[in-house]
Homo-oligomer: A and B are copies of this chain.
Amino acid sequence: MLLHKRKFNPEDDLGFGQQPVIKNQRLINRDGSVNVKRRGVSRFSTSNNYHTLITMGWGKFWVFVLTGYLIANLIFAAIYVSLGTGSLNGAEGINFFERFMDAFFFSAQTISTVGYGHISPHGMMANSVAAMESMIGLLAFALATGLLYGRFSRPSAKIKFSKNLLVAPYQENGRGIMFRLANLRRNTLIDLQMEVIFSYNEDVDGKKIRRFLSLDLERKRVSILTMNWTVVHPLNDDSPLRDITPEDMQKGEASFAILLKAFDDTFSQTVHSRTSYQFDEMVWDAKFKPAFDRDVEGRLVLDLDKIDHFELVR
């Protein structure tokens, strides 16, 4: 694969480094996650636990919380039962199962600090365990609710990127590589900055090497995202891809990594969004159709479902 004007600049590097390529592999997935496994990451570090608990799905999270609550109560119930029949005043259970359930519900009332009191701890040991359990309950629920709120309030951009990357007409007689994006959330995004990294295989002395380079954009920053934003890499004389063909792209197993940075006005924090396109997601000689229309009052309406829409030209 030959590029029009090779400008290899180490600063363009994505941090992937140069590497022999055995099998074509997207390094950034379409959903923006990194597609490289790591071996040796500690499984039990605090920070990884936090990361896991914050990013897991909601279903998994609820199962985790409920299971934790259940297990904690089972353990404490077993302790109270093991302390003997006199340890819980007001418990009326006679057989083992009933006594265990009394202890289980007493434990639930203690760990959640409800403490109705119709069952109450009696004796040194039961009281000590209950005092410890209520403290643990307060701390554990604080962690659970902290995580819940952290998940709920976590700033992250939800960007809809167009499904395809188009090679479209651009300015007079020119062409450009284009994709389109819009904000799927109600928050306002400010000060958006875009970086597009092109990668391809190059033959160096018979060995395939993966190269990465940053593409110039018509504009790489917009002040505020009110509508959609069409990001354009102009295929002009400065572009290393000026004369590239679909066959080149396929041969080089070309791919585009899209890195977006923005400031979220609701959360007052910087957010990032990533995606990638591969050569087989490119459409040649097509252009995007407008994604907005007017409502009955003549006001602009952006239709997020139309971000993907394009039409072929020529």
Residue ranges of A at the interface with B (Cβ–Cβ < 8 Å): 10-11, 13-17, 19, 22-23, 25, 27-28, 33-42, 45-52, 54-55, 58, 65, 69, 73, 89-90, 101, 105, 108-110, 112-118, 120-121, 124, 127-128, 130-131, 134-135, 137-139, 141-146, 148-156, 158, 182-188, 190-192, 195, 197, 218-219, 221-230, 257, 259, 261, 263, 265-272, 274, 292, 294-295, 298-305
Contacts and interface: CB of A to CB of B under 8 A. Distances in A.
A104 B200 CA distance: 66
25 contacts: A13-B222, A13-B223, A15-B192, A15-B222, A15-B227, A17-B227, A25-B298, A34-B224, A36-B227, A36-B300, A40-B303, A41-B185, A45-B158, A50-B152, A51-B185, A55-B266, A108-B127, A108-B134, A109-B131, A115-B117, A138-B144, A145-B146, A195-B223, A224-B274, A263-B270
Nearest to A197: B223
B148 A142 contact: yes
Q: Is the interface of A mostly helix, strand, loop or mixed?
A: mixed
Given A131-B105, A155-B268, A298-B23, A41 B227 contact: no
Contact of A39 (B55, B135, B195, B304): B304
Contact of A295 (B37, B188, B225): B37
Given A134-B114, A222-B14, A270-B268, A158 B47 contact: yes
A116 B116 contact: yes
A221 B221 CA distance: 19
Given A124-B101, A143-B152, A304-B38, A226 B16 contact: yes
A27 B222 CA distance: 15
Given A139-B144, A304-B38, A112 B127 contact: no
Contact of A187 (B25, B47, B137, B292): B47
A160 to B, nearest CB: 9
A11 to B, nearest CB: 5
Contact of A145 (B58, B142, B270): B142
